[in-house]
């Protein structure tokens, strides 16, 4: 296990590469965690029982992650007496932006190391550090491909406290048709065209003729004109991400080549030019970078923004004796697999609380979820 921990530390020292993620400079991966590990080594603390526990805790998130579906919010506790670390595993789609916000409920909490790792393969044996939270414990990034990630949080030795975490995934682009949303999309990426001879390389957003088409991001106009199947088209180039944005079947074009447009600027209006002349007016919107990319996740949110979450600090960190038998779940889902049966009179520790569920540790050291309504009995 120690060897695995050292391997993980080597990943921390790898020169940062943003080929798979777009990471703002302030969130570039840092080696603060490794630097602290080195300071413990220099102080001869890694040979102590507590030092060894801290090292083992650092690798636990790679073996026993908490699998969550975004958006995710919870209030959680990390012990001040026993070294602990926590790891959240979540999946991200290309086109989404991930926002992580961590609040300190306990204001005197010492430094917390927050690092993001990409899972390199399904075996969960290879990880690449891709980002670190800044001093405010915020973190943000955009994946360039569908991937799974582990977010690890670990405080300094003999430090802990109460925290609140929010992890969200939001579209990187604004919706490109004024007053419309996903309900206006009637054809998606990959739909067959010409009797199956080709595939649809975009999404079709239906709206009334002359409805404004909006720039979804700051970009440069690369082409304005008429081209084949697309009829009247506009091409924008998103310099920040290196993507080419394609708008087809326009009624009118409102921009000129080389013009810089900002989010919300009108670049044209909805029409049915080109091969759409026999269909109702709509915008064909596509994204290209070394080939076509499914634009759906770039413009459509997966969910409504989570409601305001007020952390339950009264029960957080408590140990309770169960009044009834309970089922410990592996995840926060009604149909999630059962992890264990908790018997009446068993002692459990409350490690986290969110809107509906409580994350606990049982006497066997297993971490799982129970229904939040259980707390009303104590």
User: pLDDT tens digits, residue range 67-88?
Assistant: 888 999 999 999 888 899 999 9
CATH code 2.70.70.10 for 182-294: yes
Q: Other CB atoms closer than 10 Å to residue 299's CB: what's the count?
A: 22
Rounded to an integer, the average pLDDT of 296-314 is 81
Q: Which two tokens stand for residue 35?
A: 């630097």
Q: What is the pLDDT of residue 10?
A: 39
The model's pLDDT over 344-365, given as tens digits with 9 standing for 90+, comes to 888 989 999 988 888 898 888 8
CA distance 323 to 315: 16
The model's pLDDT over 218-241, given as tens digits with 9 standing for 90+, comes to 999 999 999 989 999 999 999 999
Rounded to an integer, the average pLDDT of 172-184 is 97
In Å, what is the CA distance from 291 to each residue of 19, 202, 215, 243, 286? 17, 12, 21, 10, 11
Q: What is the pLDDT of residue 48?
A: 94
Q: For residue 71, is the peptide bond before it cis, meaning its omega torsion is within 30 degrees of 0?
A: yes
Structural class in CATH, domain 312-378: mainly beta
Q: Name the burial class of residue 130, with classes exposed (0-12), middle (13-18) and buried (19+) by CB atoms within 10 angstroms of its CB.
A: buried
Three-class DSSP category at 191: coil
CATH code 2.60.120.380 for 2-172: yes
Question: At residue 14, does pLDDT exceed 60?
Answer: no
Q: Other CB atoms closer than 10 Å to residue 219's CB: what's the count?
A: 25
Residue 123: pLDDT band (50, 70, 90) is low
Three-class DSSP category at 244: strand
Question: At residue 56, does pLDDT exceed 90?
Answer: yes
Question: At residue 9, does pLDDT exceed 60?
Answer: no
In the chain, where does the domain assigned CATH 2.30.30.40 lie? 312-378
Question: At residue 16, does pLDDT exceed 50?
Answer: no
In the chain, where does the domain assigned CATH 2.70.70.10 lie? 182-294
Smallest CA-to-CA distance from 54 within 65, 63, 42, 46 is with 46
CA distance 66 to 182: 31
Three-class DSSP category at 80: coil
Residue 250: pLDDT band (50, 70, 90) is very high
Q: What is the pLDDT of residue 8?
A: 43
Q: What is the pLDDT of residue 374?
A: 73
Residue 135: pLDDT band (50, 70, 90) is confident
Rounded to 5°, the CA angle 106-111-115 comes to 110
Question: What DSSP assignment string belongs to 11-60?
Answer: HHHSPP--SSEE--GGGS---HHHHHHHHHHHTT-TTSHHHHHHHHHHHH
Mean pLDDT of the chain: 87
Which residue bears the tokens 């004024």?
A: 178
């Amino acid at each position: 296990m120690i060897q695995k921990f050292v391997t993980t530390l080597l990943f921390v020292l790898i020169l940062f590469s943003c080929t798979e993620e777009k990471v703002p400079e302030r969130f570039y991966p840092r080696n603060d965690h490794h630097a602290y590990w080195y300071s413990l080594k220099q102080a001869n603390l890694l040979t102590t029982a507590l030092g060894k526990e801290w090292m083992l805790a650092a690798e636990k998130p790679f073996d026993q992650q908490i699998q969550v579906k975004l958006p995710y919010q919870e209030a959680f506790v990390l012990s001040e007496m026993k070294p602990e670390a926590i790891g959240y595993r979540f999946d991200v789609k290309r086109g989404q932006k991930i926002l992580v916000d961590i609040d300190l409920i306990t204001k005197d909490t010492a430094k917390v190391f927050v690092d993001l790792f990409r899972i390199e393969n399904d075996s969960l044996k290879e990880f690449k550090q891709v980002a670190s939270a800044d001093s405010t414990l915020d973190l943000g990034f955009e994946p360039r491909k569908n991937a799974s990630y582990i977010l690890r949080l670990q405080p300094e030795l003999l430090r802990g406290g109460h925290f609140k975490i929010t992890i969200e995934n939001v579209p990187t682009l604004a919706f490109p048709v004024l007053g419309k949303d996903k309900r206006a999309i009637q054809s998606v990426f990959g739909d067959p065209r010409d009797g199956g001879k080709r595939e649809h390389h975009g999404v079709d957003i239906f709206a009334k003729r002359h409805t404004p088409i909006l720039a979804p991001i700051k970009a440069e106009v690369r082409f304005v004109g008429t081209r084949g199947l697309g009829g009247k088209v506009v091409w924008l180039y998103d310099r920040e991400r290196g993507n080419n944005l394609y708008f087809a079947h326009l009624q009118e074009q409102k921009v000129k080549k080389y013009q810089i447009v900002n989010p919300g600027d009108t670049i044209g209006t909805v029409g049915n030019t080109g091969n759409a002349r026999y269909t109702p007016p709509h915008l064909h919107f596509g994204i290209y970078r070394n080939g076509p990319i499914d634009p759906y996740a770039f413009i459509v949110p997966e969910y409504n923004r989570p409601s305001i979450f007020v952390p339950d600090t009264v029960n957080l960190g408590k140990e309770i004796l169960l009044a009834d038998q309970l089922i410990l779940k592996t995840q926060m889902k009604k149909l999630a697999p059962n992890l264990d049966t908790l018997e009446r009179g068993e002692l459990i520790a409350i490690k986290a609380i969110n809107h509906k569920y409580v994350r606990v540790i049982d006497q066997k050291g297993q971490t799982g979820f129970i229904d939040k309504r259980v707390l009303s009995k104590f």
